[in-house]
Structure 1
Amino acid sequence: MSNKSEQPQWDSSLAFLMAMIGAAVGLGNIWRFSYVLYSNGGGAFFIPYFTAIIIMGVPFLILEYGIGFSFRKSFARILEHIKPKLEIVGWVLALLVFVVCCYYLVIVAWDLIYLVGSPFQVWGNNPGLFFSQSVGGGAELGGLERVILPSVAGVAVMWFIIWFISHRSVESGIGKASKMLIPLLFIIMAIIVAFSFTLPGHEIGLDVLLRPDWSSLTRVDIWISAFAQIIFSLSMGQAIAMTYASYLDKNARLNDYVLLVVASNSGFEIFTSFGVFSILGFMAMNAGVPIEKLITEGTSLIFIVFPTIFDAMGGIGRVLGPLFFLAILFAGITSAVGYFEPLASSLADKFRISRKKATTILCIVGFCISLCFTSGIGSYLVSIVDGFVNEFGILLIIAIQCIIFGWIYGIDHLVDILNKNSMFKVGKAWIADIKYLLPIALIIIWVWGISSLLMKMEPLEAIVGVILVVGILAGGIFLTKYNKNIPMED
């Protein structure tokens, strides 16, 4: 896009759908959902899970699609249009999501290291030691002085990939990449899951995963976990959906697109969880240990438990391992592009510069921030920032968005726009959900998350939290107050 006055646009609904599915389907679908399902009542968890989709996931995404489609502006500009004093909320959210992009790409860089080394099983007989020494580091503060060079190289490669995809026009960059990577991701994961069903002991894992604990449905924390999973899994309220929807043509079937994206995301994470636990069941039987001792989430599952399992598989592990890490790479790239887009779009809009210049500057800044997570305590810092940004920042901003769009802007007139080309219609129930039910539910989840965060907070976590709050607020204030009378760049 050579001129900022040109409105970016998808060339087809397929490009938009693949980009939105790519933004939703990420690392959390692979390493988080299976653990959440297992630890929150097994098969019984599907009841609060689908309830959360109906009450929160679908309605809020419809709101995001409708707002982005109607305004066709960056998120910060949308809030400025509604009420100038609200512009800072847009910048704070865009900066928060950009921080997510910065540490998210570090995790994807770790995966790249494992992908390259998986045919040779470079982690040896001790994947935990390999990860702490050569990839993500540990929790010892003394490691802060040590730079892990493979991670630095991986981060550089990942930021180049994000720049290569994002500096182009929306369709030739994000659109083409999504249309290629998402089908490949689904094919690779289908191969992995299908193979996992042939492993001896896979039924042990599936039984442990799906065995319902109906009594868990009476616990409030199970329901909160379901709602939290939907928020994180669908990347709700992070301005990604609004930004992507602003590139749609006038004939878009907004409500129908939401249903397709939500169904694809949920189907992927449920299907993937079957494969994860089938492989864990194989390892449990092969090693003669209870499967409960293998079950974990996050980086430990991906970079320690699974390499151990691939070792136990012998030659088959040298084939399945690369496929597994390739799937994670594709999922990570498409999600990272989504995290990158809101701030890139907002900066280009604010400073009236070309998309290429905005993405280039932002990628350089992002690379420098990501380097902070490549020290000997990189994985520890990632966990700190991830918990703080998601449980404190983004959840609160999502609740604020419900109030802004539901009460200050007023969403009644969006109904006709949303229903115009859609088979699935919304009405008074949707409006009531956005204005009343969602703000209450989100604030409850936020208070629950903050309480958990504060109870386990260490001194370093408090310091990092203060730095993030001050830095993001300062950046939001600066971007809000910066002079807007800038000549448009050709």
Structure 2
Amino acid sequence: MNNEQWGTRAGFILAAVGSAIGLGNIWRFPYVAYENGGGAFLVPYLFALLTAGIPILILEFGIGKKGGGSAPLSWRNLNQKWEWMGWFQVLISFVIITYYSVIIAWALSYTKLSLNLEWGDDTKGFLFGDFLGVTDGVWNMGGLQTHLILPLVIVWSIVFITLYKGIKSGIERVSKFVMPLLIFLFLIITFRGLSLEGAAMGLNHFFTPDWSKVWHYKTWIAAYGQIFFSLSIGYAIMITYASYLPKKSDVNNSAFITALGNSGFELLAGITVFSILGFMAFENNVNISEVAAGGIGLAFVVFPKVINTLPAFNNLFGFLFFGCLVLAGITSAISIMEVVVAAIRDKFNLTRERAVVWVTAVSFSVSLLYATGAGLYFLDIVDHFINSFGILLSGLIQLILFGWFYKLRDIREAGNATSDFRIGAWWEIILKFITPSILLFIYAQNLIGAFREPYEDYPISALLTLGAGSVLLVMAIAWFFTRLSWKHSKSLNKKGVA
């Protein structure tokens, strides 16, 4: 039985914001915005926030609070036939944490490397060669990169200890410490970036609107993809966190605070990243487009180059930047793991401690695959398919089930009864008609794109086995767990109705 609860509302919100603010806010949003119209991108981004981000957050908070348990338990308690959906979301989280933890380990290693700028002048060659030992093809696994084992163990140890201690003493306490620290350190980086010569040029490129891109469907796909990616919706994190709320907790206002806090940090990250890229372009007398990048390339290739070029305090700046990546990643990793731990704990009636031990052991073992010479290939392919097909499919099914086969009004009224402000019928209209239609279009475009040309020119065998295979395996294992009988749980609604 789930007896744990958040100690304070602030603790819950900080944990939810900590889950939302992750690596993607820092290395994904700035480049996505830049590539899709700069300042003009804020139009579809805000529309996606209002029609998908906040409404779905309210829905997932409502599901968790009303369902009263982990994702499978909450879905089953609302409708006995929907347990599979909960396991689908849980297993998506499991897949994500196995490679997300490895990226945090990279950032932890680079935090140490920054003290002596050990990556040298050829930052790209160092990352893919000396550091990751990337092989010449997907199916050439190479050896285990032993220097990654210690940072990976440290990351998993932090996650393990936090979850082992529970909600109040673990997740809430860590969130209350880490989130203010992250904001403080990131503001230092922001002020430093804004003080650099060429910063204004970078900000000009970031904010200058290209209105021609606003009406292109790819811009809207990018906006909705960013909202799903950054707000942790669609893979049961917010459902799980909300299940630990007291019955009289506010969910509407908490959803707005979480979403706006996340978006505020993304905007701050955009300002920070492009002020620094402006400096880089100025120093090398090149256009901003020649230094702008996103994802792993931005964090582990471009930024080390920037750090090398800084006129002073290079080591400190590098330590702060990669330290921020670690902090942002850790809070997200904790939330992703809690989804899996809570589900296993509820299904098999285990103690928290035992569930944490088993889930961590399995997850850590799988994560070692991404620490091999072919690990970067595995990570790229699996991440692309899980995000483009797994999470989007989860979000779409979730909206269809609740919009058309469940009384959304029940969740809305339950939330309104305990919230600072009430949401109206507009919320139901958005979740029933507008957002599902948009997600269906995006999903169709992703499918068409997958058949049109192989992702990043990877071998078809790798895309089918690692990419499509990971999504199908998640579905199959979800079905398997659904078929298993529940161990005794007082929180289990035997009739499977709300």
Structure 1 residue 355 corresponds to structure 2 residue 357:
no
Whether the 8 Å contact between 1:35 and 1:297 is mirrored in structure 2 is: yes
How is 1:6-85 mapped onto 2 (pairs within 5 angstroms)?
Answer: 6-85=2-81
Corresponding residue to 1:208 among 201, 205, 210: 205
Structure 1 segment 441-460 matched on structure 2, within 5 A: 441-454=438-451, 455-457=453-455, 458-459=459-460, 460=462
Change (3 A) 1:412 1:387: same
Aligned counterparts of 1:485 and 1:316: Cα–Cα separation in 2: 57
Residues 268 and 317 from structure 1, CA distance in 2 versus in 1: closer, same or farther, beyond 3 angstroms?
A: same
- Give the one of 114, 117, 124 matched to 2:113: 117
Aligned to 1:482: 484
Distance 1:486 1:417, change over 3 A: closer
Separation of aligned partners in 1, 2:263 and 2:473? 35
- Larger deviation: 129-138 or 284-293? 129-138
**1:134 positional shift:** 3.4
Residues 137 and 379, structure 1, Cα contact 8 Å, conserved in 2: no
Hey, what's the Cα distance between the residues in 2 that align with 1:486 and 1:267? 43
Distance 1:415 1:470 in 2: 33
**2-structure distance, mates of 1:147, 1:246:** 39
Instruction: Answer yes or no: is 1:131 the counterpart of 2:90.
Output: no
1:289 deviates by 2.0
Q: CA deviation at 1:29?
A: 0.3
Q: Residue in 2 aligned with 1:318? A: 315
Q: Aligned equivalents of 2:311 and 2:119: distance in 1?
A: 14
Which residue does 2:475 correspond to in 1?
473
**Cα distance in 2 for residues equivalent to 1:151 and 1:205:** 34
Is the Cα–Cα contact under 8 Å of residues 139 and 379 in structure 1 kept in the other structure? no
Residue ranges of structure 2 left out of the alignment (5+ in a row):
491-498
Query: What is the alpha-carbon distance in structure 1 between the residues aligned to residue 489 and residue 205 of structure 2?
Result: 62
Q: TM-score, normalised by structure 1?
A: 0.96
2:194 maps to which of 190, 194, 197: 197
Q: Distance in 2 between matches of 1:274 and 1:86?
A: 42
Instruction: Give the deviation of 1:354 after TM superposition.
Output: 0.5
Encode CA deviations 1:187-211: one digit per residue, 9 max, x unaligned: 0111100111110110110011111
Q: Is the aligned partner of 1:182 residue 2:182?
A: no
Cα distance in 2 for residues equivalent to 1:204 and 1:52:
28
Q: Does 1:104 align with 2:100?
A: yes
1:259 aligns with 2:252: no
Return the letter of the residue paired with 1:239: A
Q: Is the contact made by 2:346 and 2:489 (CA closer than 8 Å) also made in structure 1?
A: no
CA RMSD, Structure 1 to Structure 2 (Å) = 1.6
Superposed CA offset, 1:156-181 (max 9, x none): 22111110111112111110011100
DSSP-derived class of the 1:119 partner: coil
**Aligned equivalents of 1:109, 1:248: Cα separation in 2:** 31
Cα pair 1:137 1:143 within 8 Å, conserved: no
Q: How does 1:375-394 map to 2 (within 5 A)?
A: 375-394=372-391
SS at match of 2:75: helix
Say if 2:145 and 2:372, in contact at 8 Å, map to a contact too.
yes
Asked if 1:250 is matched to 2:247, the reply is: yes
* 1:251 to partner: Cα distance: 2.8
Instruction: Tell me which of 380, 397, 401 is aligned to 1:404.
Output: 401
Output the amino acid matched with 2:427.
Answer: W
Matching residue's letter, 2:108? L
Residue 433 (structure 1) aligns with: 430
Question: Residues 240-299 of structure 1, C-alpha deviation per residue, up to 9 Å, x if partnerless?
Answer: 111111111133121111111111100001011111011111111112222211111110
Instruction: For structure 1, list consecutive stretches of 5 or more residues without a partner in the other structure.
Output: none
Which amino acid is the alignment partner of residue 60 of structure 2? E
In structure 2, what is the Cα distance between the partners aligned to 1:328 and 1:119?
16
The one-character-per-residue Cα deviations of 1:7-33 (angstroms, maximum 9, x if unpaired) are 210010011001000000000000000
Q: Kindly indicate whether the alpha-carbon contact (under 8 Å) linking 1:134 and 1:150 is maintained by their aligned counterparts in 2.
A: no
Q: Aligned equivalents of 1:463 and 1:374: distance in 2?
A: 19
Q: How many residues are paired up?
A: 484
Q: Secondary structure at the match of 1:224?
A: helix
Separation of aligned partners in 2, 1:99 and 1:25: 19
How far apart are the structure 2 equivalents of 1:408 and 1:380?
40
Moved more, 451-460 or 6-15: 451-460
Partners of 2:2 and 2:91 in 1: CA distance: 24
Residue 496 of structure 2 corresponds to which residue in structure 1?
none
Once residues 37 and 327 of structure 1 are traced to their aligned partners in structure 2, the CA distance between those partners, rounded to angstroms, is 21
Task: Provide the identity percentage.
Answer: 36
Tell me the equivalent position of 2:338. Answer: 341
Secondary structure (helix, strand or coil) at the match of 2:5 reads coil
* CA distance in 1: counterparts of 2:391 and 2:100, whole angstroms: 15
The 5 A counterparts of 1:357-372 are 357-372=354-369
Deviation at 1:137, TM superposition (A): 3.8
- Amino acid in structure 1 at the alignment position of 2:127: F
Greater mean alpha carbon deviation, residues 56-65 or residues 146-155: 146-155
Report if the CA contact (8 A) 2:115-2:316 is conserved. Answer: yes
Q: Which amino acid aligns with 1:387?
A: H
- Work out whether 1:330 is the aligned partner of 2:332: no
1:123 Cα deviation (Å)? 0.4
Letter in 1 for 2:3: Q
Q: Report if aligned partners of 1:74, 1:346 keep a CA contact under 8 Å in 2.
A: yes
- Which residue is 1:269 aligned to? 266
**Preserved CA contact (<8 Å) 1:110 1:136:** no
Q: Residue type matched to 1:478 in 2?
A: F
User: What is the CA–CA distance in structure 1 between the aligned matches of 2:449 and 2:23, rounded to whole Å?
Assistant: 23
Alpha-carbon distance, 1:6 to partner:
4.7
Matched letter for residue 183 of structure 1: P
For residues 359 and 453 of structure 1, the distance between their equivalents in structure 2, rounded to whole angstroms, comes to 36
* Corresponding residue of 2:495: none
- 1:220 corresponding residue in structure 2: 217
Structure 1: how far apart are the matches of 2:473 and 2:366?
12
AA in 2 matched with 1:127: T
Shift of 1:413: 1.5
